[in-house]
Amino acid sequence: MQIDQVMTKDIKTVSPSESVKKAASFMLSEDTGSIPVCDGDRLVGMITDRDVAVRGISEGKDPDCAVSELMSKDPVRIRSSEDVESAARKMSECQVRRLPVIDDSDRLVGMVSLGDIARQTDGEAEQIALEGVSERGELHKQS
């Protein structure tokens, strides 16, 4: 099964110049822990609640600072033409629960989550992703 068959297509984004406060308010209203950061329709980063809470506070950042100051640049992503098993492996290897989905022109076209995979597959791909995501998080050291 291809990613574009299970991904969420109606996604919200923030721009790199928007305030972290606005991004955090969006996360609260949408009940999500991460938002793709786009310059136009091009994915340039991701900002997570952890970026805001851990990195932002520990560095003494003001809530009005730009998203670009706290976002993770060059996020892990997957192409819409790839299959669900590839997404599960990538989630496992990179210890992430959500992947931005880009098309062949590198435009953001959706997001795929562990939940999307669980709802749409027989469970094998979900198990692959869940095992990696659940491991100790050495990959997520804040720098």
Distance CA 45, CA 54 (A): 17
Contacts of 38 (CB under 8 A, 6+ apart): 13, 14, 15, 44, 108
Is the distance from CB of 73 to CB of 44 less than 8 angstroms? yes
Which is nearest to 36 in space by CA: 62, 10, 60? Answer: 10
- Name the 3-class secondary structure at 53: helix
Selecting from 2.40.50.140, 3.10.580.10, 2.40.50.1070, 3.40.630.30, what CATH number does the domain 3-135 have?
Answer: 3.10.580.10
The tens-digit pLDDT sequence of the chain (143 residues) is: 899 999 999 899 999 999 999 999 999 998 889 999 999 999 999 999 999 999 898 999 999 999 999 999 989 999 999 999 899 889 888 888 899 999 999 899 999 988 888 776 565 554 554 554 545 555 444 44
Distance of CA 96 to the CA centre of its chain: 8
Tokens 């590839």 correspond to what residue? 86
Query: Domain boundaries in the chain?
Result: 3-135
Spatial CA neighbour of 26 closest among 87, 67, 58: 67
